[in-house]
Every structure is written in structure tokens, then in C-alpha cells.
Structure 1
């Protein structure tokens, strides 16, 4: 009954119409209804060929509303009728969304028939849970990736970034996470992806079994900036629905950078001044609003978020990387040099960090990881000398030891796309490499941020 009541309250008592009075670039200027609109309000423009284009209010200027379209503006001209349809956009997610592929409007695009409507309205741009009401991060989350489980342990409700240049294996890593995670539900947002890669990801990378417990949201690179931005919002909204039902949700988003680019496009069209690398101020305001929606909820459910960041020119200090790194609870750095020598996933362990470590680990696990990290660091420091043949064995005991263990550690960090792993297996294998006792009961310690 509360849901029906809220739906009735959302209905307008009368329709409000305006007219198109100008079009410039991606913006449509609308007059006659500007006083009834607010930022985010939705309208329908009736085109001259009888089609309709949904738009969103992104600003106001000279007593006119500035609207951006979700689709194409062909057939839209001066005097076209505009009607307000929604003041605060919502969707109705439900359990029937599992195994489905949807677009940014919440419409099915997988050819499997209509999408079942859930019983409760969820706001697309909801506020994150209040900080004081949130639970703490939970126990360890088994993500199925050996290098992450051991060296960059992630807890339930933690938010991690995957920072990578193009062609370094980011998408394959995300597909492995979706397939091998032990989380109850996966919600996957493909933001600004190449159209060719979407079906490959769903059929080859995710697979039939992975899709059964997943919801995939798709907005390809050819779609409008509003569609690409909204795909990120509906991804988080869907994850929130399952979190509110006490599910352990893994939210994968590829990529946050394309969300930021879409917001930059919207901001520049609306007249915002460009700031660092052309990104507008609203980009840096929207990023925390989006990313903070992941994390522990106020009940038993949680959203563990892994958000990819496309690093431009392999510059890990560019504006979006810098901003996202400061918001999230850790970062996984993929490095081109590692990929070029054939080790996948190409994670640079020494440049990556999980902020729930070491508190989420036992003393035995921390000792094991610290020992392996020190060996990797010792080898990295002398790698140029070793490759040139300038290092003489016996010069430094620590480096000698690092050289001895390097092949085994490299093999440990390498994981084939079809090779699953788990928390216990990873620690056991690392302990065997280093000749130390395997730690007991991995995965039962609750996390806590540094």
C-alpha cells in the first residue's frame, strides 16, 4: 500500500506544456514551463515526424530551461511541443532483473521479453546512507583473484579502484571478478563501452552461470552523454535494491572515467567553466555522490564496489585518477610493463593498496604478505642491474633471496582467465612458496579501515 500511495503522489494533476525556442549544439532551449522545472526534471519533446525524445533539465538561462536529450535531436525544431513527465526519476528494480541485460533507462535489451517491475520505487540519484547509520565493513570478500585475495584483501562493503591504461587487461580482470566472486549478486555497469565488446563480455567472459546471478547495465560509447551518465546511476540503484534485501552485492563499473567524461560533456554544454584538463566543477562534485553510494548499508546488506579508472596516457596522477583515489578505500594498479612481459592480471603489487589491510588479516597472514612484499620490493629495486647482468650474486643477501623466489612469485601472481582461486588456496600456495606454515582460517576476520 505505501508503494501505491507514493506512486499516486507522483502523478501530476494536470499536464504542463512548453515549446522549443532554440537549439544549440546538444542543448534544447524550452520556454513556457521553466518555472515548473528543476535540475533533473524529465520532459518529452514531440518531434515533427511523430516521435518523442526524452530530455533532462540541466540548467536555466535567460528565463529558459536548458534541456539535454537522451536520444538524437533529428526531427526536433523550433516550436515543437514539450511536456513535463517526471520531476524526480525513479526505477522499479526487482529480483526478476537477475540474469537480464538492460539499458540506462531500465529497459531490457537482451531479447528475453519484458522486464518484471519491482514493487518499490528507487530514486536514480539517491543520497548515500548517513555515515553515522552505516555498518562497518564486514569480513573478507573472496573475489576469486589470487593476487587480490592475498596482497590486496578486500572486505564486504569496501570500495576499490582498478587503475589502468588502455589494453592492459582491465576488462578481463573485471570479467574474472564477476565470474569467480563468492558474493551473492553481481551488478555490472558497462559505461561507454565499445558496442562490439558488450556481447563478447556477456557470452565469453561472464558466461551463462555468471549471468544468472548478475544484472548487466549497458550504455555504449555512441549513446548520448545523459545515457552514459544515467547508466552509472541505474547501476548503483540496482545494487542498492539488492543491498536493502540483505544481500552481499558486488558492484563492478567500467568505467568511472567515462562517467566523468559524460558529466564533463553535460557541464560544458550547459555553460560551466572548464577546470583541470577540461573537467568541469560538477564532475568532481558528482564523483563522491556516486561512489559513496557503495559500501555497507544500514542493515545486513552491503555493496562491495570495484570501479575501473581509465588512466589517460598511463598518467596515474591525472585529475580523475587523483580524485577517485582519494574517495575509495584502496586502489589496484595495472601496469603496462607487467602486461608486456606476459603476466596477467598485470597488477603492480607494490603500487597497489587496500585500506582494510592489515586489520582484516590475522598476524600469520600479515607476516606472510609482508615477507612476500619485501621480496618483490628487493627485486624491483635491483631489477635494472639484474637484467643488465651487472648484479653479482652474494653482494646482498636480501637481493639474492629475492632473485631465488622471483620466478615462483611471478607464477603465483599470474592467473589464467579460466582459472578460479579462493582465499584459503591463495594463502596456502603463498606459504608453500616461502616455506612457511599456512595460516589458519583465512576469511573470518572483520575488516577495519586504517
Structure 2
């Protein structure tokens, strides 16, 4: 994202990451080209919790500075979970009671104070925030992910099941959602995406029957269509790490593979 975004500035906050991963990200993933328009704020895992906490707020303040100058900023934070864990450490040290799964009350009051700062300013600048959440035990309703999901405008869910099939990026599009999509894409794009998801959902519901050979072709036209298109759909959803595709090209390909699927 940092290498290929059309934003004026990238602000990247690495909160609670291992020191080796920080260096690797800057040198290999971001690279010289990505660094030209990026600001990196790093607070490694071995830093005190207060430093990790302040790292997240400093990165957001830097993003706000560029937004106030009328620039379009992408703020990427990895991860909001480690931000929450840092606040939990601080809360426990000052005597706060551990409540929801060991998290202190101050964690849930601090999350909106950080996350609500992104968005569009009156001066025309914008901050688009992307925050990673580490989900405990694959439970999407665990406290931090549940609280963050309630604040943000959408969520992208990564799937272990897809990763084990070497399907990358391992995004589960049926679990992922954008509350703003209908406001920011064309009516045609929105309709195509809804048809696409409907076909994927149909295939997933019938997947067990298909895999054990219990489904007979012709029994259900929707399942027949899903079986016909699933390979093309999965290919569309996969992309190489260094591959970049424009939105216009993505919509054009989506139009071709969805076709007349009504």
C-alpha cells in the first residue's frame, strides 16, 4: 500500500513490533521509493508501554499536520491491538481493575480518542486510516476488535483458511465490509460487487456438498453458476506482493468475470 498509494504522504506507525521487523519493513517492504513520501514512527515491543502509547498518538499528530496543509494522507498503524495492550499495562500499574478479558476500562475510553482523529478536514485535506487488529483465538468478537469495529468505517478480515491454500492476500470478502462503499463507488461498481459476493456466498454454502460429490449438476442454477465462475473469481482476488492494479482495471475485470449473473 505504501509503495503504490496515490496519497501525498504516508504516515506509518509500527507499534509494538519486533526491532528486526521494523528494519526489514523499512529496507525491504517500503524501500527507497516508498520512503520518499513516507514518515515512519516506530515504538518497538521492548520499549516501555508509555512509549508505545505515545508513538501511536505522535503518528496521528503528524498525519493531522499534513492534513491541515490540504494534503491527502494515508495513516497505517500496526497494530492497534498492541496500542491497547500498552494502555492495559499502564492501567494495571495504576490500580485499574481488569474487566473484559483482562483489559482495563481506560483501554476502551482511549481507543475512540485515537481513532476519531482521522477523516476529512474543513481545509480539504484528508486522513485515511488503516489499522491492523490482532484477533485473539480467531474470535472476531474479542474486546479490542469489537470496540475498533464499532468505531471505524469498515473492516478487512484475513482468513487462516485462505492462507493455508496459498490464497494471498488472504482476505475473506464475505466477512469484510465497508460502510462507505455505496457512497464512494459508482452504482455499476456497487452492483457488480454485490453480485460477486452473492456468487461467492452461494459457493461457500454448497462447498461441502461439492467437495464430497453429493451435488448433482442442474439441481440448483445458482450453485451451477457459482461452480462455473469460482476459479475466475479466486484468481481475481489474488495478487502478488509487488503487483499493482488500478481501480479502473479492477472494475473492468470485475465486469468481465461477473458478466450476466443475475
Structure with greater proportional strand content? 1
Q: Does the alignment pair 1:312 with 2:136?
A: yes
After TM superposition, list the pairs within 5 Å mapping 1:7-406 onto structure 2: 177-406=1-230
Partner of 1:179, secondary structure, is coil
* C-alpha distance in 2 between matches for 1:306 and 1:232: 13
Q: Helix, strand or coil: the match of 2:174?
A: helix
Q: TM (normalized to structure 2)?
A: 0.97
Secondary structure at the counterpart of residue 358 of structure 1 = helix
Moved more, 273-282 or 352-361: 352-361
Q: Deviations over 1:231-254 (max 9, x none)?
A: 101110110110010000000000
SS in structure 2 at match of 1:190 = strand
CA shift, 1:312, in A, is 0.9
Higher relative contact order (CA 8 A, sep 6+): 1
* CA RMSD in angstroms, aligned pairs only: 0.9
SS of structure 2 residue aligned to 1:382: helix
Partner Cα separation in structure 1 for residue 210 and residue 2 of structure 2: 38
CA distance in 1, matches of 2:57, 2:31: 25
1:256 Cα offset (Å): 0.3
Q: Look up the match of 1:116.
A: none
- Residue 162 of structure 1 is matched in structure 2 by none
Give the distance between the partners of 1:323 and 1:332, measured in 2 at CA. Answer: 15
Cα distance in 2 for partners of 1:415, 1:197 equals 23
CA distance in 2, matches of 1:259, 1:297: 25
Larger Rg: 1
Find runs of 4+ consecutive structure 1 residues off by over 6 angstroms: none
Q: With structure 1 as the length reference, what TM-score do the two structures score? A: 0.57
Structure whose residues are more often helix by fraction: 2
Consecutive unaligned residues of structure 1, counting only runs of 5 or more, are: 1-176, 437-450
2:39 match: secondary structure: strand
Structure-1 separation of matches of 2:216 and 2:23: 52
Q: Could you give the per-residue CA deviations for residues 185-228 of structure 1, whole angstroms, max 9, x where no partner exists?
A: 10000000011111111111111111110000001111100111
What is the SS of the residue equivalent to 1:217? strand
- Pair 1:409-2:233 in alignment: yes
Deviation of residue 391 (structure 1)?
1.3
What displacement does 1:343 show?
0.6
Gaps of 5+ in 2: none
